[in-house]
Structure 1
């Protein structure tokens, strides 16, 4: 349970930094209260975590030759696609999270990867 909370907090922090730094990644355009924005961010982080848990391994398996060919740089493309999928799912669940396009998602995925890595170092799980 602790591992789940730590990963969710890392995703919340990483998504918040990406929203703050990248103009094409938006959260809550209507100007709602801070509490609603935080709740939306937590829900988006949960969706992002589920996408990374369920869809990402399948995509990585089928694109394994591209990972080898690009020496792992294809990971950035996969992460950007996972962010775009999260944006689409958030729209389906009526969450106000949106990513403009692929290049915005690629920059956001790079930021999310770095911040998530740092947050996981700062908040280690007990395992």
Structure 2
């Protein structure tokens, strides 16, 4: 249970940092980041696999590059569902999903090393 809470807090911190780095993303505070991290987990577990299955032919044709669009759609959905977290357009969602993946990876590696 402790590892789950630590992962959730690290994800919220990564989301908060991503909102500060990417123009077009706005987050109102720590509570919104925590809620957003939870919504992101649910979105990645439920909605994203469905989107990937429906867009599989297009993903194959584009050699996997369409998965960037699927990630942006999932990120924008999190912004829509989370109070206090706004995603202002497609390109902030696209860059936000890329930056979030990078920041989450860095923070996750820092936590694993300690």
2:16 maps to 1:24: no
SS at match of 1:123: helix
SS at match of 2:81: helix
TM-score, normalised relative to structure 1: 0.77
Higher relative contact order (CA 8 A, sep 6+): 1
Structure 1 stretches of 4+ with a deviation exceeding 4 A read none
The alignment yields a C-alpha RMSD, in angstroms, of 1.7
Among candidates 45, 62, 67, match of residue 70 of structure 1: 62
- When residues 68 and 87 of structure 1 are mapped into structure 2, their CA distance, relative to the original with a 3 A threshold, is same
Is residue 13–residue 115 contact of structure 1 (8 Å, CA) maintained in 2?
Answer: no
2:113 maps to 1:121: no
User: For each residue in 1:45-104, what CA deviation from the matched residue of structure 2 results, as whole angstroms up to 9, or x when unmatched?
Assistant: 1111111111001111111122222222212111110111111111xxxx2110000011
Structure 1 stretches of 5 or more lacking a match? 29-36
Is residue 13–residue 33 contact of structure 2 (8 Å, CA) maintained in 1?
Answer: no
User: C-alpha separation between the residues in 2 aligned to 1:14 and 1:60?
Assistant: 24
* Structure 1 residue 38, shift from structure 2 partner: 1.2
Structure 2 stretches of 5 or more lacking a match? none
Aligned residue-pair number: 112
The structure where helix makes up a greater share of residues is 2
